[in-house]
Amino acid sequence: MLAQKRILLVIGGGIAAYKALELIRLLRGAGAAVTPVMTKAAGEFVTPLSVSALAGEKVYAHLFDLTDEAEMGHIQLSRVADLIVVAPATADLIARMAQGRADDLASTLLLATDTPVLVAPAMNVRMWTHPATQRNVAQIQADGARLIGPDDGDMACGEYGPGRLAEPPAILAAITAMLAKGPLTGKHIIVTSGPTHEPIDPVRYIANRSSGAQGTAIAAALRDLGARVSFVTGPATVPPPAGVTVIPVETAAQMADAVARALPADAAIMAAAVADWRVSNASDRKMKKDGTGTAPALQFAENPDILKTVSHGPNRPRLVVGFAAETDDVIAHAQAKLARKGCDWIVANDVSPATGIMGGAENAVTILSAKGAETWPRLPKDEVARRLAHRIADALK
């Protein structure tokens, strides 16, 4: 599966470093060669001896090791790999990547490389959710790194929440996906997915029933054909796919910003169920009953139309695909939407409750374009995604 591939594995210093041993075993089992690099702190958690025994190769740890520089300089070390994987990536290592530091071997390699980088964060939940870490994570993603995890769960420190290293088999799947060669290799595709949440006050919001299943399946199918996917997702109920750049957002305005920042791209697939309106008089305190029995009146403002903006923008991708979720006159509404939004295709579906499509596992779509309409049979959402991804690959040839 990974025969002839070389992975440079940077092991950071965290409790989860022991899982890097399992990852090395899986990588070698899949046929990959592994060049291990350990940070100084990683040596506090796993020994270089066990790492090199499993990798079957020397462990690199020091920047100024002259013998190593004679054998293989750090620049070359960073370039011989097909992929650099940072697992576990600590908060500190991510911060140093975000800043472009080069004060040890791991950070220098990461700065000197032009090889794709996959980062698997692992840290305490508070450290992960801290705005500083979230800023750094957004920065390294903007610089091109892809993320896997972290997972939710019990942590070694006794807390519960996001911060656990993704499981080694999931990291292996993300690595395999990133190294997959296909008709979309070298192409960057933005996918929006899920609902948006529009706050009413700090504890209440307006949302819709989108689960994010179709958008997630499309992102995974594009990834499987080799695309680099920026996955801009609202608060969906299905987890995002591995091996894509996940950009989580909450509101339509945040989604519009994230899409603008992710451009340029070869294609944009707008599968999100974006709220058309936001509450313009949202309160920054929880709204209370005033005892009179009168409900507060909400006022609404129109949200930016992301699809329309991208379709007419200066950075327009070659292919822009919109979705039309309708409950009646599906084709007529979708046809009108194709013209109104200025996109190349509309993927239309009937989401009236009787179809069970919204939140369900299947979808029945019609693809509308300048060439006409093509109706597909009712299929699992994964299969719709696979067919759509192949159609996108053909269009971007």
343 is catalytic: no
Smallest separation (angstroms) from ligand CTP to the CB of 303: 5
Shortest gap between Cβ of 276 and ligand CTP (angstroms)?
5
Between residues 166 and 334, which has the closer beta carbon with respect to ligand CTP?
Answer: 334
Q: Which is nearer to ligand CTP, 32 or 310 (CB)?
A: 310
CB of 272 to ligand CTP, least distance (A): 4
Q: What are phi and psi of 330, to 5 degrees?
A: -50, -55
CA distances from 384 to 27, 185, 347, 370, 375 (A): 31, 21, 10, 20, 11
Written as one string, the DSSP assignment of 258-271 is HHHHH---SEEEE-
Instruction: Kindly give the pairing relationship between strand 277-279 and strand 300-302.
Output: antiparallel
Pairing of strands 83-89, 117-121: parallel
For residue 165, the SS3 value is coil
| Minimum distance from residue 266 beta carbon to ligand CTP (Å) | 18
Residue 149 near residue 170 (C-beta atoms within 8 A): yes
Q: In terms of CB distance, is 132 or 336 closer to ligand CTP? A: 336
Positions touching ligand CTP (CB under 6 A) are 192, 252, 270, 272, 274, 276, 303, 305-307, 322-325, 337
Min dist. Cβ of residue 336 to ligand CTP (A): 8
Q: How far apart are CA 53 and CA 219, in angstroms?
A: 37
Burial 222-234 (b: 16+ CB within 10 A, else e): bbbbbbbbbbbbb
CB proximity list for 173: less than 8 A, separation 6 or greater: 242, 243
Nearer to ligand CTP, 119 or 388 (CB): 388
| 180 vs 263 by CB, closer to ligand CTP | 263
Ramachandran category for residue 205: left, alpha or beta (phi over 0 → left; psi -120 to 50 → alpha): beta
Q: Are 243 and 174 in contact (CB under 8 A)?
A: yes
Measured distance CA(368)–CA(356) in Å, rounded: 22
Q: Which among 132, 156, 157, 301 is annotated as catalytic?
A: 157
**CB of 148 within 8 A of CB of 118?**
yes
- H helix and E strand count, the chain: 14, 21
Give the DSSP letter of residue 170.
H
- For residues 241 and 227, give the distance between their C-alpha atoms in angstroms, rounded to a whole number: 13
Q: Residue holding tokens 């791209």?
A: 265
Minimum CB distance to ligand CTP, residue 285 (Å): 27
Q: How far is the CB of 184 from ligand CTP (least distance, A)?
A: 20
Q: Is the peptide bond before 264 cis (omega within 30 degrees of 0)?
A: yes
Looking at beta carbons only, is 9 or 191 nearer to ligand CTP?
A: 191
Nearer to ligand CTP, 273 or 396 (CB): 273
Catalytic residues, by residue number, are 157
